[in-house]
Structure 1
Amino acid sequence: MRRRFGLRDRVMMAYGLLALGLSVLLALVTFNVVSDYLTSQRESSAVVETSDNAAALHYGLYGATPPCRPREGTECTAAVAVSNPDVMALLNALPSADSAASLVFFEGQWYSATGKPSDLPADMVTAAQNGTELHRRITVGGQQVLAVGVPLSRPGEAFFEWHPLTSLDSTLGMLKVTLILAAIVTALLGLAVGRLASTLALRPLAELTQVAAAVARGRLDARLQAEDDPDLGGLARSFNQTAATLEQRVIADARFAGDISHELRTPLMTMLNSMQLIQNHSLELPPVVREPVELLGDDLDRFRRLVIDLLEISRDDGGDQGSREIVRIGDLVRAAADATAGRELTTVSPDAEGLTLQADKRRLERVIANLVDNAEHHAGGCMGVSVKAGGLGVIVYVDDAGPGVREADRERIFERFGRGDGQRRGIGLGLAIVARHVEWHHGTIRVKDRPEGGARFIVELPAKTS
């Protein structure tokens, strides 16, 4: 599945790409400027050194006759060579601090201290012999060198040197690597700055997300604290006003449901007592009346549980804070589960016997009772309740023998009036109460398939050893 970048990631990538683009541009400009400067300096120094060596060789070959350059536009007097000059001795006497080879074409013959005339380009030799001073990059023995040709005083005679460019190429290579590393480091710094900037810029959004999530979980008193922010104040005030209106509406609805439930308790108790009296004399009733009476009794029992659940829901929605006390979780689960089922079905593992929990006993007992009652009446019977150490501290398993819960319904059954796929009968408030009370204890609840068939409800609560 293709991953989508969030706003924080996009801001970070924008900073990183901007930093990378600027650093690459700066690196290219820097490399071009520095490489051009270093190359120009290297060529200038090579030309100056070759010209100085050519002047020194001139005096050895022609004596005090000044060099003549036809390109200078002056009249040239043909130089006269010194009688029997030792050309090789003169070449060997030249300083060679920077040159790799020295060659001279004198009186129709090549003289070379080092290097071969065949390595020089023919057009370069011809140009120097015709009086043109020039330089060019060439490759000699697989190595880049700068060849410099300087004409001597007599036409057809010239002096050549080539200078290695290894040091220049090494310097430029090092500069290139340095600039590449600098671009990478700059890009990484840009990503880090982008991450920091996005974190600071999106911090109010993160706070809004947290507060909205808290409201969604039922904490209707959660509010944003950015009302004084000049940029976010309007959003914060609008959100807080919406949350306050929602809280007032929920409290009003809870109060209404509570009032209705309280009002229903008196006639309900009258009906239940009357039904109990009728059921006690059911044998005296005509056969055709007994079945409707039994059906009416079942519906009255469902009505009783609905009123109790509505009272519980309205109590929570009305802001009942409850009270916490230390309880031994194993004993509480055993008592609540066995009493609801009317038989012993709870197993507490030895590692969970000593676990305690800061809990509201009424809420926690209601959690266990509702899960067991749900299994008994709507899921084929409760197959067992077990308490083990693990998870957040303690894990309670409630197994039933029903058809199980489909994957698509495993979240919906914990919503109010959520009945899953319709195979489970019930009012739809019992599991919603369970989810609310488990969350009140900072725990979690989920449902999965039992290995032997049916459903397994798993409650994790934060407990500790007593």
Structure 2
Amino acid sequence: MVGNQVSLKIRQGFILVFLLIVAMPILFVSIGNAYRASLIEATQKTLEAHLYSIISEVEYTEQGVQMPRSILAPELNRVTSDTYAMIYSNNEQVWHSESALNVDFKPDLFNTETGTSDFRMVTFKGRKYWQLSLTGILSSLDETIEARFIVVKSNEGILRLMEGFKETSINWMLIMGVVITALMIIGFFWSSRPLHRLDKEIKAIESGDSTRIKGSYPIELQTIKADLNLLLDSQQRQKERYRASLSDLAHALKTPLAVLKSSPLAQDSDAQEQLDRINVMIEHQLKRAATGASDTWKKQTLIKPVAESIFNAMSKVYRDKNIEFSIDVNDKHFFLGDKTDLMELLGNLIDNACKACDGHVALTVKQVKKRLTLTIDDNGPGVPKEKRELLLQRGTRLDSYESGHGVGMAIVADLVNGYHGMLTISDSPLGGARFELEFDYQETT
């Protein structure tokens, strides 16, 4: 549960980082476009100021268009300037600024109405310029002419400013991206610390090292902590009641069972067999009561050591049969439950297989994610199909059959049901019976 929340936070963190990576370039492009638009607008206003300055200083006399030697706009007086001014009349240039003295540039003479200005980008000999033109009327005492005032600024200045802006923006964007990412990572790990602590406490409970959640947590997790502790307390109380009731019942049955076993009625072999079976069941339930029955919080029990221990014992018990034991399990396969219960499961099934086999018993373990499969095969006569369902029913045994399967099956069935598993019986590739146990921990963890 807590692990899922941590995984969710990790995914959310990656999504935020991804959005940041996507958003930063978009923000960069948007700011760049806005800055370029502001530079163009500033260029237009600058050219308008130069244009109106020229108009205010121009005079038209009998000698033609007259301008002062030095005009008010200093940019137009410098030879090295990238801003030029010209006056055209009848498509002929009648004046140009000092800055256009050594410049080979011919403006586009667009047709515009008198008094109307025109601002646009023009291209001359592969280079781009911003051009502002205005058509006006100049008059002297005897004559009136139409004049076109043109102010031009090279686009290279804007490009240089844009390059500088881009370089600065990229540097700051990178710095901001690193800082924001670092802050997000620090914030994520800081905010997920309580979840990690809670996850560790839950794992300690699962492993049996603790019985309650004791840590101090933020208010958001206080409700989860209280609910989990209530669940643990309720489970403990139920376990104690189950243990006490089971122990009392088993002890109550042992006395009358002992009397029955010593009575003349028990001399009958069938009766003695049933009494022995009852005694085995009582001993098993007493042992389960002593070990605390089954727990909701189960620890991981490695399967290989338990299986090897059982096979070692069976090789001694059935030494006369010279059984070949095969085991296919790796060191990481685990059973999510009590070690005693695992020994009961494997011990009963392997013991049955040894009784029924003709010299070969095999155990195969497969674990994919949280699905565990335990398979016990033998090369005996097998279990008849019509008896398989009957064998899985509580209280049924097949000891009277030559196969020998069925001893302890009630114990196995109880444990499998207690762990929400599934037991199936089928034909084995070895020629005998196959007992397959399946446990799906997805639903129990």
Number of aligned residue pairs? 365
Contact 1:268 1:304 in 2 (8 A): yes
Unmatched 5+ stretches in structure 2 = 67-76, 97-102, 140-144, 295-303, 331-337, 386-391, 397-404, 440-445
Change (3 A) 1:381 1:183: farther
Answer yes or no: is 1:345 the counterpart of 2:336. Answer: no
CA positional deviation for 1:363: 7.9
**1:43 CA displacement:** 3.2
The aligned amino acid for 1:310 is: Q
Which residue of the partner structure matches residue 311 of structure 2? 334
The one-letter code sitting in structure 2 at the alignment partner of 1:95 is V
1:258 aligns with 2:259: no
Matched with 1:308 is 283
Alignment CA distance shift 1:385-1:42 (3 Å):
same
Matches within 5 A, 1:263-412: 263-272=252-261, 277-279=267-269, 294=270, 296=271, 299-317=274-292, 332-338=309-315, 343-347=321-325, 366=344, 368-373=346-351, 375=353, 383-385=360-362, 398-400=376-378
Which of structures 1 and 2 has the larger relative contact order (alpha carbons within 8 angstroms, sep 6+)?
1
Q: Is the aligned partner of 1:160 residue 2:135?
A: no
% identity of equivalent residues: 15
Counterpart of 2:40 in structure 1 is 39
- Superposed CA deviations along residues 437-461 of structure 1, whole A, max 9, x for unmatched, are 9xxxxxxx999996657345699xx
Alignment of 1:412-451 (within 5 A): 428-430=410-412
Distance of 1:95 and 1:169 partners within structure 2: 21
Alpha-carbon displacement from aligned partner over 1:110-132 (angstroms, at most 9, x marks no partner):
47963445x33211xx54xx6x7
CA contact (8 A) 2:119 2:131 kept: yes
Residue deviations 1:368-401, cap 9 Å, x none?
4223135468x9999514699x99xxx9974245
> Over aligned residues, Cα RMSD in angstroms?
6.1
| CA gap 1:373/1:143 in 2 versus in 1, 3 angstroms | farther
Q: 1:243 Cα shift? A: 1.6
1:99-248 pair list within 5 angstroms:
99=83, 104-106=87-89, 109-110=92-93, 114-117=104-107, 119-123=108-112, 127=114, 134=117, 136-140=119-123, 144-149=128-133, 155-169=145-159, 171-172=161-162, 197=187, 200-201=190-191, 203-205=193-195, 208=198, 219=208, 221-226=210-215, 232-233=221-222, 235-248=224-237
Q: Is the 8 A contact 2:119 2:130 kept in 1?
A: yes
Q: What's the CA shift string for 1:282-330, capped at 9, x where partnerless? A: xxxxxxxxxxxx4x555444423322321221122179xxxxxxx9878
Aligned residues of 2:87 and 2:150 also touching (Cα < 8 A): yes
Given that residues 18 and 190 in structure 1 are in contact (C-alpha distance below 8 angstroms), is that contact kept between their aligned partners in structure 2? no
Whole-angstrom distance in 2 between the partners of 1:19 and 1:122: 49
* Normalised TM-score (structure 2): 0.55
Distance in 1, matches of 2:221 and 2:438, equals 42
**Inter-partner Cα distance in structure 1 for 2:159 and 2:211:** 67
| TM-score, structure 1 as length reference | 0.53
CA contact (8 A) 2:17 2:181 kept: yes
Which amino acid in 2 is paired with 1:98? D
3-state secondary structure, aligned to 2:146: coil
Post-superposition CA distance 1:228-261 (Å, at most 9, x none): 7666556534532442242133123213313332
Structure 1: gaps of 5 or more residues: 59-65, 69-76, 84-92, 280-293, 320-326, 353-359, 405-412, 438-444, 460-466
Instruction: Work out whether residues 211 and 222 of structure 1, in 8 Å CA contact, stay in contact via their aligned partners in 2.
Output: no
Aligned-partner SS, 1:149: strand
